[in-house]
């Protein structure tokens, strides 16, 4: 029974709450089903304007957050007019806070950040911010959360849709769309939508571009701004919104804030958005085949079935039973059979909802080998044979119970996630019809076995109720049509009748005619049974692990979990060896070896993965890394299997060829990803003494055979130094036993310490000015990219490091505001600290249709102008930045994996700097504004003779050399800048030739020669002698 309460604090006189005084806040529930370790308290309330709010009190959190999910998304877009831009425009100024970046500046100065996304039926806005005011904040400064909520609430009460920001934000939407144009994920999804029922909104183009949002409507005389305001007016209503607020404050305080700040959101009593009259795939859209040509070299077979509507089936979730069996990879499964045939590299299956009122879609995706593409029809028949097995066998309660048990354990020991990820996700969940006490556990737990609904779901997987898509660059070889928005080439038509007949025969197969290899899975042996955790009262969790074994062969680090108390553990193993980094061929052979190990373990490890136990094995420049993580109960069983497989691996030529071809495609496809994802590889390569880039590795691949790997890998394992780290719910004896297991299984010889590889980076001299040009290989890509890196120095120099981190904090928001929001250089604009294995620098990455030369000028100009901003910064602003950064550095770890990852990185990078974040914070605290202006003038200012820069220019093929000069000259005109002659007010660009430091750029053409000119850094030096961490048992 909902209870009713009054807000606890008196509302301010000018508060919109006063008019609601007679209508109290309704309390829906404060009893939520929570994980056993959850120390938060919860309350669900409804405000008088029908806005539903989940309040979360977390006394220990260092980040507060809120998220608002509005029940309107791109399915509600009017014809030919994407509403997604509203999400961009809403952030740009409100009546109460008219300055367009007031919100982002406020968040930035309180260790915060924000984002938003638009889905099919919801638009989700969220932020996070420091949970408490800094210790040295003035007495009248309230909680940072209150100030952020006040600004956030105004987006939903009085947004301005400022005319001055409209054009720029629509360009941001356009740039976001261009970023996705060459992405197969976006292209193939839109192709499926474009080929769906035009009467159902599933067919919409959801992102929008400049033509659709601005050029075309204006040509028709439509006032675009008015159109967005109407969209907001029509769809944004308090009763369609779900708000989650998480903070340190007591629930009563959070309730009062919610009631006070959000009371002004108008309730228009709009009905929930539902689409009940049409379906995405009607009769004429079924039994169709689509052959689509991807940008990247990939091969996929995709089967889609209109499915049952599971909106209200959250207790039984029948599709989870079906997808568990169809997506299984163990013995008897579809995947096991088609992999053994050499036809597939992967399979995934599951149902997904389309929107409220519309039944879902069940989908099975199979990643094909070359042979699999030739035999795609056979694979479809295997799929339908397996479905016939499921239909013939009544739903098995033991399989459901196994799934239910694992889901219960996973929920019981669920650890916290970052604050804004939690609020954003739960606000979206609140739009579903889940009982409110199940908001946290809702779709993760299974509550009842519903055999009839499973049978009903299986009945949808019929030969007359599906669509098939085959994705390949080579097959059929000609394509008849082009998709409107992304230009994807495809051929679409009905599935031939003779193939349908074969499918029907497969679907009607019986135990007599079916493939003998297909059967239900066995009982999962990896289900954890020991889930006890011995929890002790700990005054202060230990900062560093202990070194419990240290001899010539093995070093074992260990930390018993003293913070999270989950029945889980993480084990990391680094097998140090100099072979992988000796040549590009060796690096590739080590990679192929680890890929082959994973391939051999796929079927075995699948059960472990289902039961919450994962492993990974990968090669890198310093050797091979193995990691095993999850419930500690059977961790050693999985580790032993991985080690034995590594030791005894037989490289089968037919499997080797399949994996070699997969690696070949992966390396070739690397050139077709977003330029900003490629640029870091070149930066890393030009910062290390020895390293390899993709094209060097690719050149070695054709020469390798199965025999090469068979001969190579024993050398890889024959001599090494083993460093391990065990963290979690295991005792010291367990950790030592795991080390013994590694030693006794692999039996390696000792690699003497004098022969261990040393990590070094290149040192850029003062006044250095280096440029590396690369033309991007994707002819259809329109975006250039730059990484602009300023070298600072040794990353273990604490005062220098503190300055670099503070510079990152101070410039982060202004750089984004100037280079992206105001100048609209591109959707991807990033600035911040970049480290190598031993050095630290400060960099920008921008992906843009403007040339890298032009981008470099704009960055120079920003830095030149920032010197003035820094000089004029008030003491209180400066101290605010320091506080914000210190809060970020001292942010607590949320879960065991996060802490394990951090501690392992300190061991693996050889600095053993376990107190790094605390020492960073104390060094940042000492900094003065003079320290920062001196630092900026020396290392960062474009005019500084001591500054050292490396710029990587990735050039799109679309620009010809002559255009480059024109673009630079016209850059200011092209941006339409300074058209209103009010530069000072709106921060637009004034073309100023930034004064450089007089150095001539050194164009890197011969990389070996370039590296030979530079000095190298010292290797990593441990901050304390290793013996200080030892806790060795005396040998008897």
Which is catalytic among the residues 87, 249, 483, 856? 87
Task: Please say if 625 is a catalytic residue.
Answer: no
List all residues 6 or more positions away from 58 whose beta carbon is below 8 Å from its beta carbon.
39, 40, 131, 246, 247, 248
Tokens of 157: 């009460």
d(CA 605, CA 603): 6
Q: Are strands 749-750 and 719-728 parallel, antiparallel or unpaired?
A: parallel
Instruction: Provide the greatest CA pair distance for the chain.
Output: 91
Asked if 762 contacts 593 with a C-beta cutoff of 8 angstroms, the reply is: no
Q: What angle do CA 520, 522, 527 make, to 5 degrees?
A: 130
List all residues 6 or more positions away from 598 whose beta carbon is below 8 Å from its beta carbon.
617
- Cite the DSSP H helix spans in 791-928: 798-815, 852-871, 875-889, 896-908, 916-925
d(CA 240, CA 994): 51
Asked if 675 contacts 784 with a C-beta cutoff of 8 angstroms, the reply is: yes
Q: Which strands sit side by side in the sheet containing 25-29, from one edge to the other? A: 3-5, 25-29, 41-46, 52-57, 241-247, 63-70, 123-130, 113-118
Asked if 587 contacts 692 with a C-beta cutoff of 8 angstroms, the reply is: yes
Tokens of 487: 């230009």
Tokens of 271: 């009905």
Q: What is the secondary structure of 304-373 as a DSSP string?
A: EEE----TT-TTT-HHHHHHHHHT--STTSHHHHHHHTT-EEEEEEEEE--BTTB--EEEEEEEE-HHHH
| Beta-bridge partner residues of 797 | none
Q: Which strands sit side by side in the sheet containing 839-848, from one edge to the other? A: 828-835, 839-848, 784-794, 949-955, 769-775, 1002-1003
Asked if 877 contacts 801 with a C-beta cutoff of 8 angstroms, the reply is: no
DSSP state, residue 940: I
d(CA 992, CA 498): 70
Give the closest residue to 789 by CA, choosing from 981, 1018, 951, 1010: 951
d(CA 596, CA 600): 6
CB burial of residue 914 (10 Å; 0-12, 13-18, 19+) = buried
| Beta-bridge partner residues of 554 | 722
CB burial of residue 598 (10 Å; 0-12, 13-18, 19+) = middle
Give the closest residue to 887 by CA, choosing from 232, 64, 14, 40: 64
d(CA 752, CA 547): 19
d(CA 129, CA 113): 7
d(CA 417, CA 440): 12
Tokens of 235: 């769809």
d(CA 967, CA 576): 50
List all residues 6 or more positions away from 1027 whose beta carbon is below 8 Å from its beta carbon.
none
For residue 781, the Cα-to-chain-centroid distance in whole angstroms is 23
Residue positions annotated with a catalytic role: 87
């Amino acid at each position: 029974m909902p209870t009713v309460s009054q807000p606890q604090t008196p509302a301010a006189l000018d508060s919109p709450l006063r008019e609601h005084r007679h209508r109290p806040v309704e309390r829906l529930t404060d009893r939520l089903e929570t994980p056993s370790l959850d120390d938060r308290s919860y309350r669900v309330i409804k405000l008088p304007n029908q806005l539903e709010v989940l309040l979360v009190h977390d006394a220990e959190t260092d980040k507060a957050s809120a998220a608002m999910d509005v029940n309107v998304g791109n399915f509600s877009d009017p014809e030919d007019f994407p509403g997604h831009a509203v999400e961009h425009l809403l952030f740009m100024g409100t009546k109460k806070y008219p300055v367009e970046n007031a919100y982002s500046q406020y968040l930035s100065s309180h260790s915060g950040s924000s984002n938003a996304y638009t889905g099919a039926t919801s638009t989700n806005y969220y932020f996070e911010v420091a949970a408490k005011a800094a210790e040295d904040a003035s007495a009248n400064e309230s909680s940072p959360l209150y100030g952020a909520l006040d600004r956030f609430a105004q987006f939903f009460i009085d947004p301005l849709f400022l005319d001055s920001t409209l054009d720029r934000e629509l360009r941001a939407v356009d740039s976001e769309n261009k970023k996705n144009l060459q992405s197969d994920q976006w292209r193939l999804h839109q192709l499926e939508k474009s080929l769906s029922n035009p009467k159902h909104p599933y067919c919409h183009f959801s992102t929008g571009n400049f033509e659709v949002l601005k050029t075309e409507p204006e040509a028709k005389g439509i006032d675009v701004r008015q159109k967005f305001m109407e969209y907001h007016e029509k769809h944004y209503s308090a009763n369609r919104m779900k708000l989650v607020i998480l903070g340190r404050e007591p629930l009563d305080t959070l309730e009062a804030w919610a009631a006070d700040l959000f009371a002004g959101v108008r309730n228009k009593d709009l009905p929930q958005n539902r689409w009940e009259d049409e379906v995405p795939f009607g009769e004429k859209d079924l039994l169709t085949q689509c052959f689509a040509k991807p940008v990247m070299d990939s091969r996929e077979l995709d089967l889609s079935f209109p499915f049952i509507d599971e909106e209200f089936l959250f207790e039984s979730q029948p599709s989870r039973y079906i997808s568990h069996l169809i997506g299984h990879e163990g013995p008897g499964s579809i995947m096991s059979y088609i992999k053994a045939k050499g036809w597939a590299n992967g399979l995934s299956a599951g149902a997904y909802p389309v929107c409220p009122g519309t039944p879902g879609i069940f989908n099975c995706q199979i990643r094909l080998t070359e042979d699999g593409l030739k035999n795609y029809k056979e694979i479809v028949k295997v799929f339908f044979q397996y479905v016939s097995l499921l239909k013939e066998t009544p739903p098995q309660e033991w399989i459901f119970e196994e799934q239910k048990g694992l889901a219960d354990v996973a929920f019981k020991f669920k650890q916290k996630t970052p604050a804004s990820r939690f609020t954003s996700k739960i606000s979206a969940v609140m739009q579903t019809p889940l009982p409110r006490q199940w908001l946290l556990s809702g779709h993760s737990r299974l509550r009842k076995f519903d055999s009839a609904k499973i049978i009903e779901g299986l009945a949808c997987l019929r030969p007359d109720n599906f669509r098939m898509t085959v994705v390949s660059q080579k097959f059929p070889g000609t394509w008849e049509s082009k998709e409107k928005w992304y230009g994807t080439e495809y051929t679409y038509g009905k599935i031939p009748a003779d193939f349908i007949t074969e499918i029907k025969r497969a679907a009607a197969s019986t135990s007599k005619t079916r493939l003998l290899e297909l059967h239900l899975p066995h009982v999962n042996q990896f289900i954890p049974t020991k889930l006890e955790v011995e929890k002790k009262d700990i005054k202060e969790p230990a900062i560093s692990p202990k070194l419990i074994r240290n001899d010539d062969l093995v070093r074992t680090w260990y930390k018993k979990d003293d913070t999270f108390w989950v029945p889980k553990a993480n084990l990391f193993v680094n097998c140090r060896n100099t072979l992988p980094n000796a040549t590009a061929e060796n690096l590739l052979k080590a990679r192929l070896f680890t890929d082959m190990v994973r391939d051999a373990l796929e079927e075995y490890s699948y059960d472990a993965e289902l039961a919450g136990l994962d492993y990974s094995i990968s090669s890198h420049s310093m050797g091979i890394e193995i990691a095993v993580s999850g419930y500690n109960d059977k961790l050693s069983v999985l580790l032993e299997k991985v080690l034995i497989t590594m030791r005894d691996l037989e490289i089968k030529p037919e499997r080797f060829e399949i994996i070699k071809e997969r690696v070949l495609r992966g390396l070739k496809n690397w050139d077709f990803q977003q330029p900003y994802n490629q640029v870091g590889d070149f930066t890393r390569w030009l910062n290390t003494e020895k390293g390899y880039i993709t094209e060097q590795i690719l050149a070695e691949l054709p020469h390798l055979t199965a025999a090469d790997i068979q001969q190579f890998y024993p050398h890889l394992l024959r001599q090494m130094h083993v460093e391990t780290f065990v963290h979690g719910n295991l005792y010291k004896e367990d950790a030592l036993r795991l080390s013994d297991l590694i030693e006794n299984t692999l039996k390696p010889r000792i690699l003497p310490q004098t022969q261990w590889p040393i990590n070094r980076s290149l040192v850029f001299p003062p006044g250095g000015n280096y440029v590396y040009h690369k033309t991007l290989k994707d002819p259809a890509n329109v975006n250039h990219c730059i990484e602009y890196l300023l070298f600072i120095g040794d990353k273990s120099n604490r005062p220098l490091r503190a300055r670099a981190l503070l510079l990152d904090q101070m410039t982060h928001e202004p750089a984004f505001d100037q280079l992206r929001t105001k100048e609209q250089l591109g959707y991807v604009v990033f600035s911040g600290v970049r480290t190598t294995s031993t050095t630290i620098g400060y960099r920008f990455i921008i992906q843009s249709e403007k040339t890298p030369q032009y981008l470099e000028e704009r960055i120079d100009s920003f830095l030149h102008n920032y010197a003035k901003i820094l000089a004029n910064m008030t003491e209180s602003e400066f101290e605010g930045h320091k506080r914000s950064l210190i809060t970020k550095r001292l942010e607590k770890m949320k879960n065991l994996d996060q802490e394990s990852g951090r501690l392992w990185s300190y061991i693996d990078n050889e600095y053993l700097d376990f107190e790094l974040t605390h020492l960073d914070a104390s060094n940042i605290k000492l900094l003065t504004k003079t320290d920062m202006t001196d630092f900026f003038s020396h290392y960062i200012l474009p005019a500084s003779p001591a500054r050292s820069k490396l710029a990587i220019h990735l050039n799109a093929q679309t620009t010809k050399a002559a255009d480059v000069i024109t673009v630079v000259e016209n850059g200011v005109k092209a941006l339409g800048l300074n058209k209103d002659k009010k530069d000072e007010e709106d921060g637009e660009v004034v073309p100023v030739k930034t004064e450089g430091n007089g150095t001539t750029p050194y164009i890197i053409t011969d990389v070996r020669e370039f590296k030979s000119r530079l000095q190298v850094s010292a290797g990593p030096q441990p901050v304390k002698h290793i013996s200080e961490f030892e806790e060795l048992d005396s040998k008897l």
